[in-house]
Amino acid sequence: MSLEKRLREKCEALGCLCEKFVSPGRRGAPDRLITPPGLPMELVEMKRPTGVLGAHQRRDHLRRRLLGVRVSVLYTAQEVDDYVLDLMRRIREARGVTYH
């Protein structure tokens, strides 16, 4: 299973939208737009384990982060799983659900 498919399926299982993100005319935009229930939208860049962010991607991500947008870069299946676990925790917190 591809990392993008893994991310999409796990995010959708949490009730999130996980859409392919395309910004016409702008290089370096992240790959996925995540819309979690009760939280602001965030962006995810998917890379192969040996992948490297290009300068245009680093600039684009920094520009978005300075605007207050969460941008995550994921390289491995473990990073996808960790991202989804953190997202699940944040969704639960937004809903007021706590676990001890």
Q: What is the pLDDT of residues 34-77, one digit of tens each?
A: 999 999 999 999 999 999 999 999 999 999 999 999 999 999 99
Q: How confident is the model at residue 98 (pLDDT cuts 50, 70, 90)?
A: low
Under 8 Å CB-to-CB from 46, ≥6 apart: which residues? 3, 4, 7, 31, 32, 74
- Higher-confidence residue of 36 and 100: namely 36
Residue 28 lies in a domain: yes
- Dihedral (Cα; 88, 90, 96, 99), 10-degree rounding: 60
Residue 100 lies in a domain: no
Residue 61 lies in a domain: yes
3-state helix, strand, coil in the chain (%, to 5): 40, 15, 40
Q: What is the CATH number of the domain that holds 53?
A: 3.40.1350.10
pLDDT at 7: 97
Residue 21 lies in a domain: yes
Q: What ranges in 14-76 are assigned the alpha helix state H?
A: 55-66
> Containing domain of residue 83, as a range?
3-95
